[in-house]
Amino acid sequence: MDRQPSWQPVLLEEEGEITSHREPGEEFLFYRSVAAGLIDAVQENCSRGAFENMEGVGKLSDNPVTNLRYHFVVTAAMLTRFCMEGGMPLEEAFGLSDEYIRRMDCCNNMSEIVYVHDQMAMDFVCRMRQLRKNIASSKQVAEAIDYIYVHIMDRITVNELAKSINISPTHLSRIFKQETGISVSEYIRQRKIDMAKNLLRFSNYDFVEIAVMLSYSSQSHFIQHFHSQVGMTPKAYRKQNYLNNWNVNREPALT
Burial of 132: CB neighbours in 10 Å, binned 0-12, 13-18, 19+ = buried
Say how many C-beta atoms besides its own lie within 10 A of residue 174's C-beta: 12
- Give residue 8's pLDDT: 67
SS (H, E, C) 224-239: HHHHHHHCCCHHHHHH
CA angle 85, 87, 91 (to 5 degrees): 90
Tell me, rounded to whole angstroms, the distance of Cα 110 from its chain centroid. Answer: 24
- Give residue 19's pLDDT: 56
Cα distances (Å, whole numbers) of residue 76 to 100, 206, 240: 8, 30, 28
- Give residue 25's pLDDT: 66
Please list the pLDDT of the chain residue by residue as tens digits (255 residues).
556 667 666 666 555 455 555 565 678 888 888 988 888 889 998 998 888 876 766 778 889 999 999 999 999 999 998 898 888 888 999 999 999 999 999 999 999 999 999 999 999 999 998 888 777 778 899 889 888 888 888 999 999 999 999 999 999 999 999 998 999 999 999 999 988 998 898 888 899 999 999 999 999 999 999 999 999 999 999 999 887 654 444 443 333
- Give residue 131's pLDDT: 87
Which one, of 152, 226, 219, 141, lies nearest residue 182 by Cα? Answer: 141
Which one, of 83, 165, 163, 72, lies nearest residue 129 by Cα? Answer: 83
- Give residue 23's pLDDT: 60
